[in-house]
Every structure is written in C-alpha cells, then in structure tokens.
Amino acid sequence: MSMECKKGAPVGVFDSGVGGLTVVREIIRQLPDENIVYFGDTARVPYGSKSQKTVIRFSEQIIRFLKTKQVKAIVIACNTASALALDAVRDEFDVPILGVVVPGARAAVKATRNQKIGVVGTDATVRSGMYTKIIRELNPRIQVLEKACPLFVPLVEEGFKEHAVTQEIIEYYLESLRATDIDAMILGCTHYPLLRSRIRAYMGEDIQIVNPAYETALDLKTLLEEREMSSDGREASGSRYEFYVSDTAEKFRQFANTVMPFHVPETNVVNIESY
C-alpha cells in the first residue's frame, strides 16, 4: 500500500450503536479532511451488560469488517469495548487502534482541582475499573467514584432524551454522586454526551463535565500526524463518510441525522456475524 493511498484511506470508527456518532462528530470538527467509515452494532446493542469475552469477539468481528474498507486507523468509540477489548485487539491486528478511555481519563486528571473525579458508565465499564486504574496511574492521589448507569444507553437509543422519565433516571443514578464533592465527571459512555445538558443541569455548574470524544479526536490527530498518515483532503472520491450497521438501518439513519452536523447518507446493513 503506497503512502499516498494510505493518507487518503479512511479512519474506521465503531460503537455498539449510535453513541459513537458523538466521537465521529468531534473527529469531523478536528479533522475535516479525513474520510470516515462508521459501524454501529445496532443488532447487539447494548454492550454494557455483556461479558468481556463477548465484547472482545464482537470487536474482533467489527475490526475484520473495517479492515475490508482499507482503514488506516481504528477508533473504538465505545467505552465498554475500549475498557474490555482494546488490549486484546491491539495485540491481534496490524492497524493502529485507539480507545476512548485513556484520553477521557487524562482530560479529567487535568480538569480536577480537588483530586476527586466521578465516572459514569455502563455496568461493564464500571466493573472493569479501567477508569480508576488509568487515573491512578496518572495521579495516585486522585479519588475516583464510579457509577454504573445502565439505563442511559437504551434511553438515548430510543430517542427519550427530552422525556420526563429520563430526568427521573438521571436523578435516581446521580443522586449519590451529587452528594459528594467531586469537581470533575467523566461521561464514560459515548451515548452520554447526548444527555449532557440534562446531566449538567442536575449536577450543577461547579462540576467540569469531561467528554472523552473530544479528547479522542485530538489523540487521533496526533497519531495520524506522527505516522504521517493525515489526509490532505485531495483524494475525495465518492462519499467522505460511510455508515454501516448490523440491523435497523433506517432507524439508525433517522437518529444519526439528529446527532450529525450533516445529512446522513444511506446506511448499509452488514451481516457482522460472518466476519
């Protein structure tokens, strides 16, 4: 593969569903010249209640699919898969792979003033303790409080963002964190930025809310520049952004249109189990 070809090659991004679009949105903002292939595993969402073995298997299948699109780098735009599968897939595949957990942890360490950080995420992400582990590696004095909020993902996926029930569930999950003196909170699931304004309103203005999507896009930029793989935007042949899912393409596309800053093109269904 020639270097020229490599520069114009797309970046692969995947998530359990629509949440990873918050990462794509940031990549487009920070890296407007890059082409992107997105895969949302809509048939098997949510990942947060699955075992590590299953999440690794799902991630391997998706990476094999993305490799058929000649991607030059892959972003795991899913905290659960980043926490549970990143190390396994990095050892297995010869393409640079980034997760969202390390960039998010790093940003929170920078943001906190009183060394107390809250993390909200799926059951699997919280059980893995990955955020606590990485934050402690960066600064052993920081106290980390992790809280699983498993119902946030289905609420987002079903478009219940503005619904009263969402407010109740936010209060139900976050009451205990609000009672602490954390001054920074990581949205440790890529679906959660879609609830950001509701979460912020409940938690109060004094807390810095960290969105790992933004930090991950910056990390991708650095990675591509270091490896001299950044696109110069010259090879824009065909669609710049392609979207694939494992089920319910039209439902995904309609939702994606509420998240993305442009009209989402036709979304294709892939039989991911065959990879």
Are residue 86 and residue 132 in the same domain, yes or no?
A: no
195 and 153 fall within a common domain: yes
Helices (H), 19-163: 21-30, 52-67, 79-92, 101-111, 123-128, 130-138, 152-157
Q: Are residues 218 and 92 in the same domain?
A: yes
Query: pLDDT for 156-185, tens place per residue?
Result: 988 898 999 999 999 999 999 999 999 999
CA distance 11 to 23: 12
Counting Cβ atoms within 10 Å, is residue 247 exposed (0-12), middle (13-18) or buried (19+)?
middle
Question: Is the domain of 162 the same as that of 196?
Answer: yes
Query: Which domain covers residue 134, as residue numbers?
Result: 101-212
**145 near 5, Cβ under 8 Å?**
no
The residue type at 140: P
pTM beyond cutoff 0.85: yes
C-alpha angle with apex 201: 166 to 143, nearest 5 degrees?
95
Statement: residue 238 has pLDDT above 60: no
Same domain, 106 and 202: yes
- Confirm if 51 and 81 have CB atoms less than 8 A apart: no
Residues 110 and 203 placed together within one structural domain of the fold: yes
Nearest partner of 126 among 96, 109, 150, judged by Cα: 150
Do 60 and 136 belong to one domain? no
Looking from the CA of 61 toward its CB, the CA atoms found within 13 Å total 20
pLDDT score of 235:
60
Which residue is catalytic, options 62, 75, 78, 105?
78
pLDDT per position as a tens digit, 48-92: 999 999 999 999 999 999 999 999 999 999 999 999 999 999 999
Do 187 and 59 share a domain, yes or no? no
- % the chain with pLDDT above 90: 90
For residue 76, give both structure tokens: 């795991």
- Given 100, 134, 189, 210, the catalytic residue: 189
Q: Confidence band (pLDDT; 50, 70, 90) for 6? A: confident
Collapsed DSSP state (helix, strand, coil) of residue 98: strand
Residue 208 token pair: 């810095």
Identify whether 189 is a catalytic site residue. yes
CATH number at residue 160: 3.40.50.1860
Q: Which residues fall in the annotated binding site for substrate?
A: 15-16, 47-48, 79-80, 190-191
Q: Is 78 a catalytic residue?
A: yes
**Residue 40 is inside which H or E element, if any?**
strand 36-40
How many domains, the chain?
Answer: 2
User: Are residues 63 and 79 both part of a single domain?
Assistant: yes
